[in-house]
Amino acid sequence: MIRLALSLILLCLLSGCHPVFAASIPVEARQYQRELTRNARVVWGLNAPVSTFAAQIHQESQWNARARSPVGAQGLAQFMPATASWIAGIYPDQLKDHQPYNPSWAMRALVRYNRWHWQRIPGTASDCDRMAFALSAYNGGLGWVQKDRKLATSRGLDASRYWNQVEKVNAGRSAANFRENRGYPLKIIYTWQPRYLAAGWGPGECHDVD
């Protein structure tokens, strides 16, 4: 039995897999890897941060395509019905079907919505900061990001930097909503993303691919 186990581990290592990290990624994720990569590259280019988006889906739904939150968010990307309807109208060529429970639609919508935010968050110190702002906007709304940055400036902080600058500023959310929002990019980038980077899903923000 021990010899068999060692043989399996050796085979895994020789084939390039990462057993520790692969085990920590939901088994459901693998079936979506190729399609997420394709959708991300269509919108973001060949260097799309696929591992970041995979980590975001991990945070949102644990790759459960039928997930529904207590407040009504739906599918892999956990779009609220109103947001799903809105983005379908913004990008009718790609998202007109308006199917948040359809994994293909959800992944297309997620990468598009992230890009929509990214394009509306200029003047950041780095792409890492910009992605953190974009993720914060995905979770809580672009308006709050803009208000937080404005308040940070008024307090003498660097509004071009998310981490340890705007991250610390709350322009008016409830304490619970603020904790959730600040935990969102933190968990995606520094808890879940390393697992997808190590498992070979591709580039990610704030990290280099090994």
Residues annotated as catalytic (active site), given as ranges = 60
194 within 8 A of 22, measured Cβ to Cβ: no
Number of neighbouring beta carbons within 10 Å of residue 44: 19
Region for 158 from its dihedrals, namely left if φ exceeds 0, alpha if ψ lies in -120 to 50, beta otherwise: beta
CA-based angle 168:122:170, to the nearest 5? 20
Q: Per the structure block, which two tokens stand in for 16?
A: 């390039």
Give the separation between CA 103 and CA 26, rounded to whole angstroms: 15
Q: Using CB atoms within 10 A of its CB, is residue 133 exposed (0-12), middle (13-18) or buried (19+)? A: buried
Region for 203 from its dihedrals, namely left if φ exceeds 0, alpha if ψ lies in -120 to 50, beta otherwise: beta
Residues 6+ apart with CB under 8 A from 141: none
